[in-house]
Amino acid sequence: MKTRAQKDQEIEGLRKEFQESPHALIVSFQGIKVSDDERLRRELRQANLTYRVVKNTLAIRASEGTPMAQLKDNFTTATAVALSKDDPVTLAKLLSKWAKESPVFSLKAGIVEGQAIRVEDVEALSNMPSKEVLVSKIMFLINSGAQRLAVATAGVARNLTVVMDQVRAQKEGA
């Protein structure tokens, strides 16, 4: 059994993680096989996401003063918290995939940019393109205007050259 000092240390570590991660999902995993849990942890680690099984009473105490306090009612049964510092879409995609594949794994609630979201919102978030795809689309839109301007400018110079060449050919023929 943990001592009071060990529990306080765990609460402080959890509170720090909650404060540093603006995106989080709370999941239930009651009855998950060890092999499936290891595979889930590996996938989350590869995506640079944090996954931690928490004791509900400690998580409730750690959530005080953080955005996670909005979700303290969801710390029931076997609970794990998945955290992301950068990309809520990747987090939602991975965990939604797991919730669909495994009947013992389910989403409870989440936090995105410090705001509580429902399970239905997590599904909508998982259907969004990733941050990298959105950035590339924005860059394409920004670049396309410049490309069109360059093509139009080059077209004027090209047309002027063609007309001058036709005038030269016409004068030589006369």
- Do 81 and 156 fall into the same domain? no
Distance of CA 94 to the CA centre of its chain: 10
* Mean pLDDT to the nearest integer, 118-123: 88
Q: How many domains are contained in the chain?
A: 2
* Mean pLDDT to the nearest integer, 102-116: 90
- Do 137 and 101 fall into the same domain? no
- Do 156 and 92 fall into the same domain? no
| DSSP annotation string for 96-113 | HHHHHH-TT-EEEEEEET
Distances (CA, A) of 160 to 148, 157, 164: 18, 5, 6
Domain extent at residue 55: 4-128
Closest CA to 103 of 156, 22, 31, 18: 31
3-class DSSP assignment, residue 118: coil
- Do 61 and 134 fall into the same domain? no
- Do 38 and 119 fall into the same domain? yes
25-44, pLDDT tens digit by residue? 999 988 888 899 899 999 99
142-162, pLDDT tens digit by residue? 888 888 888 888 888 788 888
- Do 123 and 145 fall into the same domain? no
Q: Determine the residue type at 61.
A: R
